[in-house]
Amino acid sequence: MGIQVEWGRGVWIRRAAASLAGLAGLLCASAAWADRLPHVDDIQILPSLPLADHLSITPNVGTDVTVGGAFYKGEPGGVSGAGSLFGAAISGPTTLSSHTSSFDQVFTQPAQLGINLNYGLSNRDEASLGFTWFHASGKQFDMFTSSSAVTWGNQPIAAGSVIRGQFSHDDEFGLEAGYRHFFDVGDWAGFHPYIGAMLGMKRVENIELTLRTQSGDPIATDIHFYNAGLIGDAGMTFGLRYDIGQLLALGIESGFRYEGPLNPNKTYFNGTEFQGMNSAGDRWEIPALLTLTAKFDTIGKLLK
């Protein structure tokens, strides 16, 4: 299946922090350039708040927590005699029991990077268009328990043995549109809270499965579990921004999102008792993002 990238919690945090530091550097360079643009007369420009007919840019980095949905469905099933299961020869009848598992049970803590281009609809409202990248590596988990002693994929399986599974990785590239409304809370220690909504599409790459014995010997590899394809996502957002300079604002953002089901590959599943196992993949999640926002002048002034 090729090289599998294993990201521990500390590793992705360090890489995400380094990425955000790089984005901050780019924003600071952009801010220095933007400072030479004409200022808007008689209006106090705060980078944390939208300004009607003005643009800002917001890179973000973070992760999310799964709170609902099944990555695959547990279904008791098996084979009635010698044959093939998931592309690997099996010597005789057995029942393989499994249980439904969620995203966080089969993947490491995910990492996410993104960037939004924001347009001020008013001095309290903004629309945004953003690009996101999401990655999580598969981790080993208990997938099946065999009721009988069999040979499967040239590996001896004892009765009651656990079959371990591991998915390749989950890579997603998304485009989303959003809206934010900022509340007028006066001088609230420089913080500016907001609430919003988003709607988008993501392309999810192929996700493959490997089955192994408890000792780690491969039974079946390159099982095409989910096909690459598009999924929809939508949700509510809320967050805070805080001005850390005349052109930069630091922020945090969270919310509640739903991602639609993945595109199942039925090559290994149709005609078996497991044909509904990969008719899943939807997910409810709570994102946790760190953001930086820099404001630019209007498009017209940028083109002058």
Binned at pLDDT 50, 70 and 90, residue 236 comes out as very high
Whole-number Å distance between alpha carbons of 4 and 6: 6
Tell me phi and psi for residue 103, to 5 degrees. -55, -45
pLDDT surpasses 90 at 17: no
Two tokens, residue 217: 């010997």
Give the neighbor-by-neighbor strand order of the sheet with 88-90.
Answer: 83-85, 88-90, 150-152, 155-157
Binned at pLDDT 50, 70 and 90, residue 164 comes out as very high
The pLDDT, as a whole number, for residue 275 is 83
| Whether 217 contacts 155, CB under 8 Å | yes
Helices (H), the chain: 9-34, 103-106, 299-302
pLDDT surpasses 60 at 199: yes
Specify the higher pLDDT residue, 191 or 236: 236
**Where do the domains of the chain lie, and which CATH numbers do they carry?**
9-302 (2.40.160.20)
Mean pLDDT over 257-275 rounds to 88
Binned at pLDDT 50, 70 and 90, residue 176 comes out as very high
Tell me the pLDDT of the chain averaged across its residues: 84
Name the percent of the chain lying above pLDDT 90.
61
The pLDDT, as a whole number, for residue 32 is 46
Strands 229-243 and 191-204: antiparallel
* Poorest-pLDDT segment among 252-256, 275-279, 289-293: 275-279
pLDDT digits (tens, 9 = 90+) for 44-74: 678 889 999 989 999 999 999 999 999 999 8
Two tokens, residue 164: 């371990």
The pLDDT, as a whole number, for residue 80 is 55
Q: What is residue 153's DSSP assignment?
A: T
pLDDT surpasses 80 at 220: yes
Mean pLDDT over 3-10 rounds to 42
The pLDDT, as a whole number, for residue 132 is 97
The pLDDT, as a whole number, for residue 194 is 97
pLDDT surpasses 80 at 230: yes
pLDDT digits (tens, 9 = 90+) for 67-109: 999 999 987 666 655 678 888 998 888 888 888 999 999 999 9
Two tokens, residue 244: 């850390």
The pLDDT, as a whole number, for residue 77 is 66
Tell me phi and psi for residue 185, to 5 degrees. -110, 10
The pLDDT, as a whole number, for residue 302 is 38
The pLDDT, as a whole number, for residue 14 is 56
